Copies of this chain bind each other. A is one copy, B any other.
Amino acid sequence: MDNSKIGLHISGQFNKELEDVRNKVLAMGGLVEQQIELAVTAFSTGDMEMADLVIKQDDQVDTLEMAIDQECMQILALRQAEAFDLRLLITVIKVINELEHIGDLAEQIAKIAVHLSNTERSKSNQYYELEHMGELVQNMLHGALDVFARMNIEDVITITGWDKNVDREYDNIIRLLIIRMMADPRNINRMLDMLWIARSLERIGDLACNVCEHIVYMVKGEDVRHLTQRELEKKLKE
């Protein structure tokens, strides 16, 4: 499905307002995507300026969320939005909430990076697994934002499918960290830092899936939350 629905308004002004909201969501999403990448890099390289940037970016993300939220409320109050337009506005309100939460998780990773840089660091290659998990969830968010931009919901099943890999990586990392903790209890604090980062990345994957589900609702008008991957696949083929 393309964006043509948005062009069908009698009111060109209403049309412009909806386009403006969509663009702001994509800008906010791009910023959050960058936060994930920088946070994981700051953690693995120990670049503290980068970590500080991620923490600063979170204020911008919060401000964007509140601004877009308010814009949607104004449109809802002034226009009798119906059908697709109403779903678009409500979806935006839900999606920016997920994005704000992802930004918080990226900020948490950046704060752990700062904390870790103050403790003894081991070789960066030790962080390979987390870097890879970071790339996976960043790709998921990128894909979700692309679905929002192009409304190509047939891509949703690919993105939600990636979450299985994220969960598998997460389980492996946790197992590995527990083995390292048991092998040398002096590692426990550093291993716990990595454990929190793995957990945050795993959550980001879930939130990217939520974004996809919201967009499916916007486009199809069907609530596909709490479906299994197979059920979702079936629904999208209908």
Contact = CB atoms under 8 A, between A and B. Distances in A.
B73 A77 contact: no
B94 A73 contact: no
Interface residues of A, number: 31
B178 A188 contact: yes
Contacts of A66: 223, 225-226
B77 A83 contact: yes
A12 to B, nearest CB: 21
A173 interface: no
Copies in the complex: 2
A77 to B, nearest CB: 6
A181 interface: yes
A86 B76 contact: yes
A124 interface: no
A192 interface: yes
27 contacts: A62-B225, A65-B225, A66-B223, A66-B226, A69-B223, A70-B223, A73-B86, A73-B87, A73-B90, A76-B76, A76-B90, A77-B86, A90-B93, A93-B93, A93-B94, A94-B97, A97-B97, A178-B189, A178-B192, A181-B181, A181-B185, A181-B188, A182-B185, A182-B186, A182-B188, A188-B188, A192-B195
